[in-house]
Amino acid sequence: MLRITSESAEETDDLLAVEEPLEIRVAWRANGELREKPISVTMRTPGDDFDLAAGFLFTEAVIGSGAEIESIRQWGSPNVVRVSLAEGASIDASKLDRHFYTTSSCGVCGKTSIDAVRVIRCGVPGPSTRISQALVNRLPELLGERQSAFRATGGLHGAALFRPNGELLRVREDIGRHNAVDKAIGSLVREEPESLAGAILMVSSRASFELAQKAIVAGIGVLASVGAPSTLAVDAAREFGLTLLGFVRDGRFNVYAGEVERNLP
């Protein structure tokens, strides 16, 4: 590439974020018959693809828990992942007819109606996660310290999950903000599902509706973002008891839903 400054023009190399398509396929048995269907193609940064597949299926309510997954494996290509569901796992095949197509910039592209988007299935809000002002102010630093790929390329989003006491659970990066969230959630769905309830999710992006939806479906208690939330994200957070924080940076933040324990003067 050619790097141009006010003083010079220099031919040099640069590290770029990798972006490749990933097809997610699901196989399951119905009435003794093996069925299989591709349900999503997402533009992602390769790595943690099994977590991404598990997180996507879980946050889109195709599966209800990690226990419904029998196996996840690459299927004929590094860019195809096949999720085989466990015997007896119930699946609503109509949900697979939405023909998911997600780009790296939008987790809900291709869905035909708000009803298809709102897969939220939490009928009653759970207990609120208590979070302090001091912890909120530390979240961007705690996430940024672990965004090694972002520091190298400047082109990846990050998502970090914490316990309510601030202990780090998972960090994942991806060129798509929704993919980073699915990777982080999917890792816990596969390995430590009990830690999702009431967890804190910090993202290096804006808080769009699909991120709020994923947090709510996963039972996460707090969604904090360095950017702004959307109106629909705020509506969903207020309806389902998700604490939603925006513009979390530089020692300040806005509370759009829920409550934060403020520091005493």
243-249 and 222-225 strand pairing = parallel
What is the total residue count of the chain?
265
The closest of 161, 176, 138, 154 to 223, measured between CA atoms, is 161
Residues 70/84, Cβ–Cβ less than 8 Å: yes
The closest of 181, 156, 157 to 170, measured between CA atoms, is 181
**Tell me, what amino acid is at 153?**
T
Confirm whether 122 is a catalytic residue. no
Q: Is 31 left (phi over 0), alpha (psi -120 to 50) or beta?
A: left
The Cα diameter of the chain in Å comes to 71
* Strand ranges (E), the chain: 2-4, 9-11, 20-30, 33-44, 69-74, 80-85, 100-102, 157-162, 168-174, 200-203, 222-225, 243-249, 252-257
Angstrom distance (rounded) from CA 250 to CA 41: 36
For residue 205, give both structure tokens: 């992006």
Sign of the CA dihedral with 103 first, then 162, 50, and 152 last: positive
Catalytic residue among 27, 61, 89, 106: 106
| Residues identified as active-site | 106
